[in-house]
């Protein structure tokens, strides 16, 4: 049975989750150092998960072919036909068990309650949260879109996905609070842009730490803002979300380093890309040509 011992996504919890199912997950964010969230993509045979109680909120996004799904949540038993795009939203600290009758593909997102408390306090002035019970088979295209975007970022960016994942996690948490809790209507983030001095400090920090996997919280701390509001104001100030701005800075630095005698693979590592192929992808996307073509030109 899964244990509940921490308000954050602990290493122990992550290990237990990954060992719960008969097959190893297709992929997970366990090594990507994401804050407040764990993503796990599963392809599993017919299986039954015994009763357990998690200290985290859980979103299950059904993928692949339909399958029969049975669950008992907080003493309420249901049998559902799971179809692609269907969502299950399970609140923390509720007993739950479930099983399915055939091969199943699904995406699980585990979210730390402390993230919701932080956003609620920063946005509404107090951290008391009451989620509204939802149907077992929920339809929410935005949640599906965010979940799949996080999955794609993990698959393509790997360990470099942290800043993007932070931004998407905060957007997901705000959406859940605005739509599925009593916190309505959502308070709009402040309009305008970041002050010139904090913006200058943030840009310098990004440029000085291109090789590091910086977090949204680190950048927001410089501006003395919540991560959610900082991300909005940063985009209004620069025209780019923080993670895209970081990639642009990495490519710009790579362009300078290509004028030296360094190998392209070494340049990729210096500027913070996980591989030469990762550098090639973003370099061509932003510059229009590959690093080798840039050298020849």
Tens of pLDDT, residues 209-261: 998 889 999 999 998 888 888 888 999 999 999 999 999 999 999 999 999 98
Tens of pLDDT, residues 64-75: 999 999 999 988
pLDDT at 182: 85
Identify the helix (H) or strand (E) that includes residue 98: strand 95-100
* H, E, C per residue of 188-225: CCCCCCCCHHHHHHHHHHHHHCCCCCCCHHHHHHHHCC
- Cβ(59)–Cβ(92) under 8 Å? no
Distance CA 122, CA 225 (A): 9
Which of 173, 170, 198 is closest to 183 using CA atoms?
A: 173
Mean pLDDT of 283-292: 94
Tens of pLDDT, residues 3-40: 333 334 767 777 888 888 999 999 999 888 899 999 99
| pLDDT band at 190; cut points 50, 70, 90 | low
Tell me how many degrees the CA angle 170-176-178 measures, rounded to the nearest 5. 100
Q: Is the pLDDT of residue 266 over 80?
A: yes
Domains of the chain, each with CATH number or no CATH: 11-179 (2.60.120.10), 195-297 (1.10.10.60)
Mean pLDDT of the chain: 88
Task: Say what the pTM is.
Answer: 0.83
Q: What is the three-class DSSP state of 73?
A: strand
- Helix, strand, coil: what percent of the chain each, to 5? 45, 20, 35
- Where do we find the tokens 């393509």? 156
């Amino acid at each position: 049975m899964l244990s509940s011992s921490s308000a954050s996504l602990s290493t122990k919890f992550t290990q237990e989750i990954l060992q719960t199912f008969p097959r190893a997950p297709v992929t997970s964010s366990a090594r990507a150092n994401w804050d407040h969230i764990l993503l796990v993509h599963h392809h599993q045979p017919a299986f039954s998960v015994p009763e357990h109680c998690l200290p985290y909120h859980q979103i299950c996004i059904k993928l692949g072919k339909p399958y029969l799904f049975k669950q008992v949540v907080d003493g309420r038993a249901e049998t559902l036909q799971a179809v692609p795009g269907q969502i299950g939203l399970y609140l923390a600290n509720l007993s739950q068990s479930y099983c399915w009758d055939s091969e199943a593909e699904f995406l699980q997102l585990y979210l730390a309650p402390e993230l919701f408390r932080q956003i609620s306090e920063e946005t509404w002035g107090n951290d008391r949260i009451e989620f509204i019970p939802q149907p077992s088979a929920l339809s929410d295209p935005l949640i599906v879109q965010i979940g799949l975007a996080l999955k794609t970022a993990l698959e393509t960016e790997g360990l470099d996905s942290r800043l993007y994942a932070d931004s998407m996690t905060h957007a997901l948490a705000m959406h859940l609070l605005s739509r599925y809790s009593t916190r309505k209507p959502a308070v709009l983030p402040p309009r305008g842009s970041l002050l010139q001095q904090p913006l200058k400090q943030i840009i310098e920090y990004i440029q000085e730490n291109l090789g590091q996997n910086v977090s949204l919280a680190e950048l927001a701390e410089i501006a003395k803002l919540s991560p959610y509001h900082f991300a909005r104001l940063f985009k209004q100030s620069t025209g780019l979300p923080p993670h895209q701005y970081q990639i642009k800075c990495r490519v710009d630095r790579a362009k300078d380093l290509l004028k030296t005698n360094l190998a392209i693979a070494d340049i990729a590592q210096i500027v913070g890309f996980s591989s030469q192929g990762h550098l090639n992808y973003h370099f061509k996307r932003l510059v229009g040509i590959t690093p080798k073509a840039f050298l020849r030109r």
